[in-house]
Structure 1
Amino acid sequence: MSSSRRSGVLLHISSLPGGWGVGDFGSGARRFADFLQGAGFTIWQVLPLTPVLPVFGNSPYSSPSAFAGNPLFISPEGLCEEGLVSMNDITARVFPSAREADFAAAELCRRGLLSLAWENFNAQPESFAELRRDFECFRAEESWWLRDYALFSILKEKNGGRCWTEWPREFSARVTEALAAFAAENGDGISFVEFTQFIFYRQLAALASYCAERGVTLMGDLPIYVAWDSADVWSAPSLFDLDTDGAPRCVAGVPPDYFSPTGQRWGNPLYNWEAMRADGFAWWRGRLSHSLKYCGLMRVDHFRGLCAYWEIPASEPTAQNGCWRPALGREMLEAFHAERGLSAEELPLIAEDLGIITDDVRALMEDFSLPGMKVLMFAFGGDVADNPYAPHNIRPRSAVYTGTHDNDTAVGWWRGSSTVRERINFAAYAGQEVTRENVSRVMAHMALASVAEIAVLPAQDILGLDGSCRMNRPAEAAGNWGWRLLPAELDSLLPGSHGFPEKLRSLNILYGRFKEVN
């Protein structure tokens, strides 16, 4: 990844305010991009944009597809601007923008509006002739993943939402004749799913373009593994470590450590790396290329899984009785950057390397010149002098964060989740009195002033919000992923709002992360 000092803000699309249940690609997103430009930030980091499911708590890290987009992010305003629905259609479905996302209401709203848009699209062919040409081009260009995802979605719906291994054998085993007959009988439903994805990516591309015009790059997030009950595993089972019935033979996780005596058993199927090598890692190359089509940067979650992975027998209830197995991530990255004609230094990836990292992972990151992540909240426990997250130990080739989506906010950390020793060390390091009122600002200054080439601040820390506004609590199965900005909070970030964006802009200029153009 080419080097230059820059900074960004972490805010997922779902966390934007708006009147249709969750944040989307509409006016709220454009206004947030305006804030980033005004404040001198050039990166907008989001979480995975793939579909979410209620059964997994609407986590963006547990999706039925590694390629599809989340229909909840489709903007009703955008549908109206395209002429696919009327203003009355969208205003009739507005409800107040609250602190917590209402995923169920948002799903009903988007489903209704998209169904209406599909009906109008088909009923008025002359009015949408240009849009139809774009749709057909999209279907042709993305058919390598889109057709299977649409088939999977309708098959799952017709089979009562059951896992694909519980479908009739001719469908779970992908018998060609059976799938062809099913597709013929359910052509409209399959086309509707494809249309929904077309609209999603059309709106995402428009947002990416809007951001680029303001000097802002979208930064995406790539989960290392995919869900078992997904279009990815159903459509290409040979690429995964499955038994003869299609169930995972072993599953992913991490071993026991200081924080968890039984480790973490995630349950995702593992990759069949040898099968992936046989076709030149086509699935991975397609996945990375697809993601980078819309996002100029990608964070790779659990990057160490590209060097070695913790293999847990599927029958084991915890991660204790697992073992390390080698992965072929180095070969995959070589194949990807060779395909794109890039040098190793130009690979637009950031490695999530938090936790215990071994020499082979460091070597892979070094060889591809990939920045790792440094989280300031981890820097002040114990011996700060030798702590790798302390600002004086951070290497330039890094992305420094005050905290991530899995951490408390800076205020929440200061008021509750930090230890007394951490608070004493932090104040001593800052060289000033630290309070609830200034801790977010002090930590933000520390990140922006560091030598790390990239500095990222969660939106909660820019606004000084407390721990009730954190995005995820990894130890808790429910109540996550729903936090949203209030409309007034977004208003307070916009240019002209009591000089706030100008102060941030001044800091980005002061620390060499933004240069004004005369």
Structure 2
Amino acid sequence: MRFQRSTGLLMHISSLASYGGIGDLGPEAYNFLDFLAAGKQHIWQVLPLCPTGYGNSPYAGSSAFAGNPYLISLELLCDWGWISGDRIANLAGRNGNVDFEDIENRKQPLLHEAARNFLDRAPNEPQFEGQWQRFTAFCNQEASWLNDYAFYAVLRRHFNTGAWTAWPEPLRRREPAAMADATAQFGRDLATEQVLQFAFEEQWRNLRAAAAKRKIRILGDIAIFVSMDSSDVWANPGLFQLDENLHPIRVAGVPPDYFSPTGQRWGNPLYRWDVLAETGYAWWVQRIRRSCMQYDIVRLDHFRGFEAYWSIPAEEETAVKGEWIKAPGAELFDRLEHTLGPLPLVAEDLGVITPEVDALRLGQKMPGMRVLQFGFDSVEAHDHLPHRFVPGLVSYTGTHDNDTTLGWWQKTSKTTRANLESYVGPVHETPVWQLMRASSSSVAEMALVPAQDLLNLGSEARMNTPAIAGGNWSWRAPQGSWTPELAARLADLVDVTDRDNDPLTQSAGLTPSAPTTSATPA
């Protein structure tokens, strides 16, 4: 699919300077939309919206379908009448990085309190009539994943672990009598989790509608694999390579390379693609359908794994003894398109990419990715420089997995610095705007910039360092970052590089529309 020649920013919702210690879907998100519109930006890229698991990574979610309750705005819940203003006073402010322990201890109980208030009041009070109808419709229409997620979230809290393989055997195997007992014991808690998912859906839907009015598309990310500790695997064990005791047989990762002599053992359970094929890839159809309801454009993380994936015996502690196994590739995507129609997909095709992976991406007409930070180390890396770009690409200065461009520049070698200056001219303290100009003036369809780069921040603002377990995902933009002066500078760059009123705006899948959602009654 072709996309509008446009520019945008990459920043997760949690990185907003919202009230309460973590970015959310409340007023600051709308302020950010206003800034994007003033800067003539037409894309806002976010990371996966799922509830996070261990390590707080959005790529290790406890559900591939649910929204992260931590991103729900308490301010908006207060406006809705779900909770009083005095109850949400004295939370963490708008400055400083996310303290996830504080969010769990202080914000989470208030979210549950608000949800219980809604359950108690909404059926009988006229002011909640519309929301109650939409909540009922939401529960009916999203039951295929919502009920499983609610059980998982409640049981995870009850047993103080998301490792469902450690739960009592009847619940591990979802025996009907055990599930019935859990329903009786935890009925109100299950309903509370459903309400929180509805609140997330309402707030996200409203934010997307506001983005559409400003001609801003949301580019969202989904991970190819799901976590072992998730409602997805617990509810669908037959779709994954598990043994008779429901433990993984083989797990995902990537092989040894220049950066890691032992590779990366991610630990995600691998799919039983043969079983999925027998169902017409129904689980994947459901997953992509929901992703296209949430986002205007969907980025497929680790696209390489759809052609072939690195399969590691579960008992191995490293990724050394894995092997490449073919994945369904075009058969899966053809089925998705046959069922869902043309799909607005972008492939994350970074790393060592084979001709077969390129052929799969090009055959499906998906844009790939280029990252300018990668392009200056050697001649072999020049595919990441704009003079090698072709139209079907998305260009980045860096991604959420990279150091910020300023941090990278301060640490990189003299040779790399010299190569960059040969390309963009003299650099004194930072090359951020030089690289932004190079990206924006290229033929790439989309030119995206991490918010940290736009703000010219150093390594202290890095979002994620791969293979490092702690200290990630917590960065937040300083309050007051999104100034009119910065928006004007962005808009000038958009104008001079023809990334606003371009003839390609009439191509397929370009104009954002008010999102549809299962939360809206038929």
Classify the TM-score, shorter chain: over 0.9
What is the CA deviation profile of residues 45-104 of structure 1, one whole-angstrom value per residue up to 9, with x for unaligned ones? 011111113xx32111111111111111000111012111122222x1332223311112
1:404 to 399, 408, 411: 399
Rounded Cα–Cα distance in structure 1 between residues aligned with 2:271 and 2:385: 35
1:302 Cα shift? 0.4
Number of corresponding residues: 500
**1:436 maps to which residue?**
429
Q: Which runs of 5+ in 1 are unaligned?
A: none
Give the 5 Å matches for 1:110-259.
110-124=107-121, 125-126=124-125, 127-161=127-161, 163-259=163-259
Tell me the TM-score normalised to structure 2 length.
Answer: 0.93
1:513 Cα shift? 1.0
**Structure 1 residue matching 2:383: 3-state secondary structure:** coil
**2:515 maps to which residue?**
none
**Structure 2 residue matching 1:136: 3-state secondary structure:** helix
1:451 to 421, 443, 447: 443
| 1:305 pairs with 2:305 | yes
Rounded Cα–Cα distance in structure 2 between residues aligned with 1:60 and 1:169: 29
| 1:97 pairs with 2:94 | yes
Q: Check whether the contact 1:46–1:220 (CA below 8 A) recurs between aligned residues.
A: yes
**1:365 maps to which residue?**
361
**2:420 maps to which residue?**
426
1:371 Cα shift? 0.6
**2:511 maps to which residue?**
none
Rounded Cα–Cα distance in structure 2 between residues aligned with 1:168 and 1:500: 55
Q: Check whether the contact 1:237–1:246 (CA below 8 A) recurs between aligned residues.
A: yes
Residues 153/500 of structure 1: CA separation in 2 closer, same or farther (3 Å cut): closer
What is the CA deviation profile of residues 97-134 of structure 1, one whole-angstrom value per residue up to 9, with x for unaligned ones? 23311112222333232232223223322232221111
Q: Check whether the contact 1:255–1:264 (CA below 8 A) recurs between aligned residues.
A: yes
Q: Check whether the contact 1:41–1:216 (CA below 8 A) recurs between aligned residues.
A: yes
Rounded Cα–Cα distance in structure 1 between residues aligned with 2:158 and 2:480: 43
**1:85 maps to which residue?**
83
Rounded Cα–Cα distance in structure 2 between residues aligned with 1:40 and 1:88: 38
Residues 408/245 of structure 1: CA separation in 2 closer, same or farther (3 Å cut): same
**1:321 maps to which residue?**
321
1:511 to 481, 487, 497: 497
What is the CA deviation profile of residues 242-266 of structure 1, one whole-angstrom value per residue up to 9, with x for unaligned ones? 1110011001000111111111100
**2:473 maps to which residue?**
481
Matched to 2:427, the amino acid is V
Higher relative contact order (Cα pairs below 8 Å, separated by 6+ residues): 2
Matched to 2:374, the amino acid is F
**2:348 maps to which residue?**
352
| 1:338 pairs with 2:338 | yes
Matched to 1:298, the amino acid is V
Residues 4/160 of structure 1: CA separation in 2 closer, same or farther (3 Å cut): closer
Residues 260/88 of structure 1: CA separation in 2 closer, same or farther (3 Å cut): same
**1:10 maps to which residue?**
10
Rounded Cα–Cα distance in structure 1 between residues aligned with 2:365 and 2:209: 27
Residues 516/372 of structure 1: CA separation in 2 closer, same or farther (3 Å cut): closer
Matched to 1:460, the amino acid is Q
| Residue range with higher mean Cα deviation, 472-481 or 418-427 | 472-481
Rounded Cα–Cα distance in structure 2 between residues aligned with 1:247 and 1:220: 31
Q: Check whether the contact 1:254–1:319 (CA below 8 A) recurs between aligned residues.
A: yes
Matched to 2:379, the amino acid is D
What is the CA deviation profile of residues 170-207 of structure 1, one whole-angstrom value per residue up to 9, with x for unaligned ones? 11111122212321222111110111111011111111
**1:374 maps to which residue?**
370
**2:487 maps to which residue?**
501
1:313 Cα shift? 0.4
**1:71 maps to which residue?**
69
Task: Determine what percentage of the aligned residue pairs are the same residue.
Answer: 42
What is the CA deviation profile of residues 213-238 of structure 1, one whole-angstrom value per residue up to 9, with x for unaligned ones? 10101111101111111100010000
Matched to 1:407, the amino acid is N
**2:22 maps to which residue?**
22
Matched to 2:337, the amino acid is H
What is the CA deviation profile of residues 143-186 of structure 1, one whole-angstrom value per residue up to 9, with x for unaligned ones? 00000111112222222325211222211111122212321222
Residues 128/17 of structure 1: CA separation in 2 closer, same or farther (3 Å cut): same
Rounded Cα–Cα distance in structure 2 between residues aligned with 1:211 and 1:305: 32
Rounded Cα–Cα distance in structure 1 between residues aligned with 2:341 and 2:27: 36
| 1:277 pairs with 2:277 | yes
**Structure 1 residue matching 2:211: 3-state secondary structure:** helix
CA RMSD of aligned residues (A): 1.5
Rounded Cα–Cα distance in structure 2 between residues aligned with 1:214 and 1:323: 47
Rounded Cα–Cα distance in structure 1 between residues aligned with 2:469 and 2:105: 24
**2:464 maps to which residue?**
472
Q: Check whether the contact 2:42–2:217 (CA below 8 A) recurs between aligned residues.
A: yes
What is the CA deviation profile of residues 378-423 of structure 1, one whole-angstrom value per residue up to 9, with x for unaligned ones? 0011227x7211111111100000000011111111111x211111
Matched to 1:169, the amino acid is E
Q: Check whether the contact 2:112–2:196 (CA below 8 A) recurs between aligned residues.
A: no
Rounded Cα–Cα distance in structure 2 between residues aligned with 1:469 and 1:30: 22
Q: Which runs of 5+ in 2 are unaligned?
A: 504-522
Matched to 1:118, the amino acid is A
Matched to 2:213, the amino acid is E
Rounded Cα–Cα distance in structure 1 between residues aligned with 2:60 and 2:346: 20
| Residue range with higher mean Cα deviation, 471-480 or 454-463 | 471-480
Tell me the TM-score normalised to structure 1 length.
Answer: 0.94
**Structure 2 residue matching 1:300: 3-state secondary structure:** strand
Q: Check whether the contact 2:372–2:396 (CA below 8 A) recurs between aligned residues.
A: yes
Matched to 2:117, the amino acid is N
**Structure 1 residue matching 2:480: 3-state secondary structure:** helix
Rounded Cα–Cα distance in structure 1 between residues aligned with 2:325 and 2:390: 29
| 1:107 pairs with 2:101 | no
Residues 123/3 of structure 1: CA separation in 2 closer, same or farther (3 Å cut): closer
1:516 Cα shift? 9.5
Q: Check whether the contact 1:309–1:324 (CA below 8 A) recurs between aligned residues.
A: yes
Matched to 2:167, the amino acid is W
Rounded Cα–Cα distance in structure 1 between residues aligned with 2:119 and 2:300: 39
